[in-house]
Amino acid sequence: GESVGLHLPTLSVQEGDNSIINCAYSNSASDYFIWYKQESGKGPQFIIDIRSNMDKRQGQRVTVLLNKTVKHLSLQIAATQPGDSAVYFCAENGNSGTYKYIFGTGTRLKVLA
């Protein structure tokens, strides 16, 4: 299948370990953030979101942390599985009141058996 990003940073983790993927966002006015997962040749899939009035949100096996002071977002995946192998990227809404999102370039997660 086609590669989403040929020169993306790569995180390699052992199956069963926890993964942490980081994202530095650009606009201090952003108040809504989304993490997406994209497998090769497919469209991005929503994983989890967080609003700026929170600093942590948990889903099934995933946790998003938001640090507004340093404009940093992270995605933690617990007990990483082979099916988690994909490109992960964050999105910020830039300026609430617009439809324009800003998307990161992504990190490739490789799960080692």
Partner 1 sequence: DGGITQSPKYLFRKEGQNVTLSCEQNLNHDAMYWYRQDPGQGLRLIYYSQIVNDFQKGDIAEGYSVSREKKESFPLTVTSAQKNPTAFYLCASSPGQGETQYFGPGTRLLVL
Residues found near partner 1 in the complex (CB under 8 A) = 2-8, 32, 34, 36, 41-46, 49, 89, 91, 93, 96-106
Nearer to partner 1, 100 or 113 (CB): 100
**From the CB of 12, what's the least distance to partner 1, in Å?**
19
CA distances from 76 to 7, 20, 56, 102 (A): 22, 5, 11, 21
**From the CB of 83, what's the least distance to partner 1, in Å?**
18
Nearer to partner 1, 41 or 83 (CB): 41
Count CB atoms within 10 A of the CB of residue 50: 19
Nearer to partner 1, 11 or 32 (CB): 32
Q: How many Å is the Cα radius of gyration of the chain?
A: 14
**From the CB of 59, what's the least distance to partner 1, in Å?**
13
